[in-house]
Structure 1
Amino acid sequence: MTTSVPTGPIPSASYPPPPRQTANPAPLRSVNSLRRTSSIDVAWPDGVDGQRLFVGRARDYLTGPDGTGRSLAMGEFSLRMTEDKTITQIAADPAPASIGALVGARAGGHLRMTLREIMPELIAQADPLYLVLDDLSGTALVSSFAWGQWFPERMEILRQRLGGGNEDNPVLAQRANVCWGLQEGNSGVTGDAALDKVADADAGQLRNPADPEGWHEFLEHEGPGFRRARRIDVTRDGNLIHIASAFQDSARLREGGRVAIHEYNLGATVDAETLEVLSLDPEARILPFRECPGAVHNVARLVGRNLGQVREDVLEMLRGPEGCTHLNDALRALADVPRLVEELRQPA
């Protein structure tokens, strides 16, 4: 990265407005490339007060030298979850033998530990199913954002709960220092940020009309809905691995289309032999609060580290207010890239 790290604190009010410009649609697939796409769609088939339906899908797609492609691997799960994030039922395809052990677990920080304990083979194989299971906790946390987009009256209730500008509000206090953008004193913690302006960016279309095979199929349903989507493009040029990835959280609008609350692009180069991270270039495209984009600066700490250890490094080096949880997840997802490079060697 070439961006310099700030040398001292910057007053929150002096920040420019947060970014509000999508990079969608996805670029056309390159020849001799491997694209991993993943999504978790959330719906409320029993009404907004009923259990949520989560459908996660991931796919590895190989594009050969002539531009034609084929699917190499896929993974999918469907589950139901209560308001307190308890998983009540789950099915997967292909289904690991231990998938049923997730019933009764809660989608929070400990879920990733549970996944490591009961499904280590998915991590070792860089299975696409693991990526969407690993993403479940973050999706469960953010997906309630969809309510306020489909039911504006619920956003008004939230505004009243947060008590705008009241720094003694206990709901706001719980958010302090959970991430870079919500550090103590920032607008998202003090209530200075207008909640009705937090999400006003057009999410665009993930699928490029000129490349319909560039994404897997998404869940189609009626009513409110949330989607977390990822794309990781991998190519190799001699001894260099090139990575171009994207991440977005979005919600359906009653009047049609989608609105996004989080979106990052992330580019990287890696030494193909040693897996040393040579460069990282994060780009904040859509974020809720004016302080949020500053999180990209600390990503430089990962340059020089081993890509295979990025999951552990992110949790150690970019924890809490040192990083953005959404950008951290985009970085952690790159741990599977060494396996994707191996898949590149397969004939198209």
Structure 2
Amino acid sequence: MQKASSTVRDVARRLPARRPSSVRRTTDIQVVPESAWDGDLEVRGSARDARVDGRGTLTASETTRLHLTLDNRSVVTGLAAGLPGAVADALVGSAAAGGFRARLRALPEGSLDPDSPAAALLDDLPTVRLISGYGRLIEMGPQPGRPAAPLPGICTGWAPGGTADRRAQAGERLLGRAPAAPPFRSLLDHPDDFHPADSHAADSHAADLHPETPPERSSMRRRRILEVARHGGDLDIYQYFRDSHLDAAGREGSLHEYELHAVATQGSLTLSALSVRPRALPFPECPLAAAEVGVLLGTSLYDIEDSVRARLSGTRGCTHLSDVLRFLRFAGPLADRLM
């Protein structure tokens, strides 16, 4: 394994302009503790699929919203969303933890489109408690009598003997201030490059604008952009991912941030090119996982989830980078909508 470089603090200041004749999915998940990070959590999610025509005009094709609560065991205790009854009934009372995605796949046929924006939001729920754990680490620091963080060996950043492991063993504070995250809207080439706070606005033009959801102090937030365009006989794929923390003073810091570029063959969706740029990560060892993604070349995006689990587990991978890579499974269904 390569020697760890210094902590990555190269936060993005500007994202690529949307491409003509492309499709994109944007998702936004906000996690807010009801009282403390160790207790119940409120989760607010929204997502949008949109088409961009040859002149660069964007039109939303599908939107969804999600609002739920999780108890301290990650059990879904309340749900308010436009989900089919069979989906809502299956979620309430179930734990958004190990096995959750398998339960989603086992839902009655026709109850949840596995390629939909709603499925993309639900797919992220098992990571909510992990995301909230970083909020606890930042705001509360180490606490006597409880594990400081994930077990050593779970990922590159938590390699045995690495920075995080040594700090945990010494009882030191694991995380300091994350690098300042620019206001998300300032990253965009055009305000409607990301979906609006109210994706169900009656005025379709208003729904394409982007009055960003008001920031909630002491919260965590995950935003994604996945864009697919044709390039010759291939699909050109771009993804941006940012986990951020908003502290009690209203300062937003970028905790996990990646940009990804990939090329996949149309039809088979076989990856022929893949590169990942770490933008902001919490520990010096974290960026090393990005250098390992080449093991996925030749993989079909139809099999990307299994391939990521098989080839980038443990200290070869990063939990959050795996989330980025797994999200590529939606590139194929999006490509089917290219004009």
- Scaled to the shorter chain, the TM-score interval is 0.7 to 0.9
Q: CA deviation at 1:92?
A: 2.2
User: Residues 64-96 of structure 1, C-alpha deviation per residue, up to 9 Å, x if partnerless?
Assistant: 111211111122211011122111011322436
Query: After TM superposition, what 4+ stretches of structure 1 lie above 6 angstroms from structure 2?
Result: none
Secondary structure, counterpart of 1:201 in structure 2 = coil
Partner of 2:313: 319
Provide the residue aligned with 1:23 in structure 2: 12
> 1:227 maps to which residue?
221
CA distance 1:172–1:238, shift in 2 (3 Å)? same
The SS at the match of 1:73 is strand
In the superposition, the TM-score normalised over structure 1's length comes to: 0.84
Q: Secondary structure at the match of 2:255?
A: strand
Q: Are residue 215 (structure 1) and residue 194 (structure 2) matched?
A: yes
CA distance, structure 1, for counterparts of residue 216 and residue 237 of structure 2: 35
1:291, 1:118 → 2: CA distance? 39
Instruction: Tell me which moved more, 118-127 or 327-336.
Output: 118-127
User: Residue 289 of structure 2 aligns to a residue in which SS?
Assistant: helix
- From 337, 341, 348, the equivalent of 2:331 is 337
Aligned residue pairs total 321
Alignment of 1:203 with 2:181, yes or no, is yes
Q: Would the alpha carbon gap of residues 217 and 146 (structure 1) be closer, same or farther in structure 2, given more than 3 Å must change? A: farther
The alignment status of 1:294 with 2:283, answered yes or no, reads no
Q: Indicate whether 1:180 and 2:169 are aligned.
A: no
Deviation string 1:296-334 (CA, Å, 9 cap, x unpaired) is: 122111101111110121112212222111111111100
| Paired residues of 1:260 and 1:286 also in contact (CA < 8 A) | yes
Query: TM-score when scaled to structure 2?
Result: 0.86
Q: In angstroms, what is the RMSD of aligned CA positions? A: 2.5
Decide which of 147, 152, 160 is 1:171's aligned counterpart.
Answer: 147
1:262-281 deviations in whole A, cap 9, x for unaligned? Answer: 11111100111321100110
CA distance in structure 2 between the partners assigned to 1:299 and 1:57 by the alignment: 29
CA distance in 2, matches of 1:17, 1:307: 32
SS in 2 for 1:40: strand
Structure 1 residues 202 and 303, CA gap change in structure 2 (3 angstroms): same
CA distance in 1, matches of 2:73, 2:217: 21
1:108 corresponds, among 89, 97, 109, to 97
Q: Does residue 18 of structure 2 align to residue 39 of structure 1?
A: no
Shift of the 70–243 alpha-carbon distance from structure 1 to 2, 3 Å rule, reads same
Whole-Å separation in 1 of the counterparts to 2:273 and 2:287: 19
1:70–1:180 CA distance, 2 compared to 1 (3 A): same
Is the CA contact 1:180–1:323 (under 8 Å) kept in the aligned structure 2? yes
Task: Give SS of 1:97's match.
Answer: helix
SS at match of 1:118: coil
Q: Identify if the C-alpha distance between structure 1 residues 228 and 125 changes in structure 2 by more than 3 Å, giving closer, same or farther.
A: same
Return the alpha-carbon distance in structure 1 between the equivalents of residues 256 and 234 of structure 2: 29
For the pair 1:80 / 2:74, whether they are aligned, the reply is: no
Conserved in 1, the CA contact under 8 Å of 2:30 and 2:219?
yes
What secondary structure is seen at the aligned counterpart in 2 of 1:273? coil
Verify the 8 A CA contact 1:25 1:206 in the aligned structure 2: no
Q: CA deviation at 1:97?
A: 2.7
Q: Does 1:190 align with 2:166?
A: yes
The residue that corresponds to 2:44 in the other structure is 55
Partner of 1:263: 257
- Residues 124 and 306 (structure 1 numbering): CA distance in 2 closer, same or farther, change over 3 Å? farther
Letter in 1 for 2:322: N
Correspondence for 1:254 among 248, 254, 257: 248
1:133 to 122, 138, 156: 122
Give percent identity, aligned residues only: 29
Alignment match, 1:161: 144
CA, structure 1 residues 48+182, in 2 after alignment: closer, same or farther (shift >3 Å)?
closer
Cα deviation for residue 123 of structure 1 reads 7.3
> Residue 3 of structure 1 corresponds to which residue in structure 2?
none
Are 2:217 and 2:250, in contact at CA under 8 Å, matched by a contact in 1? no
SS in 1 for 2:263: strand
